[in-house]
Amino acid sequence: MKRSFLVTSCSIVLGFALSIGLSNSAFAQEDRLRGAVEPVKAKKKYRIGIAVVHFVDDYWKGMAYGLVDEAKQADVEIVRVFAAGGYGKVAEQIAQLETLSALKLDAVILGATNFEGYDRAIQRLTDKGVKVVAAGVPVNSKFVSLGVTMDEVAIGKTVAAYVCKQNANAKMITIPGPNGPAWNKLRFDGVMAGAKECPGMKLLGNTFTGDTKIEDGQSQASDLLIKYPDADFIYSAAANLGTGAALAAKSMKRPAKVVTATVTAKTVDLMKEGNIAMVVSEPGILIGRSLIQYTVRLLNGDALPNLEDGGPIPYKQFLVPLVQLTNANIGTYKLQSFDQPPANWQVPSF
C-alpha cells in the first residue's frame, strides 16, 4: 500500500470547526442528519445495493442501520446488503459486486475491505450506468462518484493532542490495526504528526498487524504492556481494538489508559472505570443516513453540498465532523441517535 497519503489542512480545520459548532445545539435538536445535509426524497424508486466490510462492530452495523432506515425516509429500495466478512477480503467482496451488477441497480454503496484492488470491478458497474458511492473508508478508484467518511488524519491528530494535553511526556503504546486498509494508515499518520508537535511524547509498538477484533486488541495490548510496563496511554485504531486493549490493561492492572475511536457496547463502562480516557465518535448511523441522502441527491441530479477535494483520494468526499468523547460528556451525547444501533436490531434479509 502506498504510504504517501496526505490530507489538506483545510479539511482538518473544517472538521474541527464543525465539531465545535455541532457539539451541543445540533444534538439538542435531534436532527437525524445532525445538519450534515438537507434531506431530500427520491424522484423515483431508485434501487440500491450495499456491500460493506462486516457487521461485527457497531460502526458497520450502525452504518447498515442508518442506510436501511434512511432509505425508508428517502423512499428508495435497498435491494441487497452484503458483508465481506472482514478487512482484506477483496476477492469475496468483488464476487459480491458481481452479484450486485446483475440486479439492475441505480447505485452501489461500497465500504471496501481494502484501499487497492477494486478499480476494474467498480468500472464494470459504472459501465452499466450504476453509480458507486464509497462508504466510511476510502477506495482507490476514479470511477467512484463520491464518498462519505471522516477525516482520518484529523482523528489521529485529535488523539495525539488529547494525550499531549494530559501528559506532554507521555509514553504511548500504539496498535494501528491491520496492514492494507487506508483508513487506519491515514489515522496513524495523524497520530505520528500529532506526536511530532508534542516533543516529549514517545510512541511504542507502531506495527500494522492482525485484524480489528476484540481479541486482536487484547493480545497486542497484553504483549506490548509486558514489553513497555511504564506506558501511560495505549492508542488503538478503532472500535473493538480499543475495547480489547482496555480489557487487557484492566486485567493486568496497568495504569495505561486507552485512546481510540468508535464507541462499542463496552465503551461507557470502561470509560467510567477509567480504562478508556477518550474516544473520537465514529457515528456509523449518521454516516449511513448521509450516504443515502448523498446517493439520492446524486441520482436525482440535485446539488451535492459540502463535498471536499479528496487530495490523494480520487473523488470528492463529505467528511462527517469529529466529536471527542470523554467521561465528562459521553453521558449527554446521544449514542443511540448516531453511533449505536438498537441492541436487538439485525440486518434485514432482502
Whether 119 and 141 have beta carbons less than 8 Å apart is answered as yes
Confidence bin at 349 (pLDDT 50/70/90): confident
pLDDT band at 77 (very low <50, low <70, confident <90, very high): very high
Q: Which fold has domain 9-150+282-321+332-338?
A: Rossmann fold (3.40.50)
Q: pLDDT confidence of 239, banded at 50, 70, 90? A: confident
Mean pLDDT, residues 8-35 taken together: 46
- At 113 the pLDDT is 96
CB 93 within 8 A of CB 112: yes
pTM summary value: 0.87
Render pLDDT for 243-262 as a digit per residue (tens, 0 to 9). 999 999 999 999 999 999 99
Q: Is the pLDDT of residue 29 over 50?
A: no
- As a whole number, mean pLDDT of residues 317-330 equals 96
pLDDT band at 311 (very low <50, low <70, confident <90, very high): confident
pLDDT at 277 over 60: yes
Choose the weakest-confidence range: 29-33, 48-52, 204-208.
Answer: 29-33
% pLDDT > 70, the chain = 91
pLDDT at 275 over 60: yes
Q: What is the mean pLDDT of residues 100-110?
A: 97
Residues 69-81 have a mean pLDDT of 97
In this predicted structure, what is the pLDDT of residue 129? 98
What distances in angstroms separate CA 259 from CA 74, 164, 267, 269, 299, one per listed residue? 36, 12, 11, 15, 39
Chain segment 114-156, per-residue pLDDT in tens: 999 999 999 999 999 999 999 999 999 999 999 999 999 999 9
Which of 171-175, 309-313, 321-325 comes out lowest in average pLDDT? 309-313
Give the model's pLDDT for residue 27: 35
Domains 9-150+282-321+332-338 and 152-280 equal at CATH topology level: yes
Is residue 3 pLDDT above 60, yes or no? no
Can you give the pLDDT at residue 137?
94
CB 5 within 8 A of CB 151: no
Round the average pLDDT of the chain to a whole number and report it: 91
Residue with cell 500504539: 174
pLDDT above 80 for 95 = yes
pLDDT of residue 4: 34
Domain range summary for the chain, segments of one domain joined by +: 9-150+282-321+332-338, 152-280
What pLDDT does 36 receive? Answer: 87
Give mean pLDDT, residues 226-239: 96
User: How far from the centroid of its chain's Cα atoms is residue 296's Cα?
Assistant: 21
> For the structural domain made of 152-280, what CATH number should be given?
3.40.50.2300
pLDDT at site 17: 36
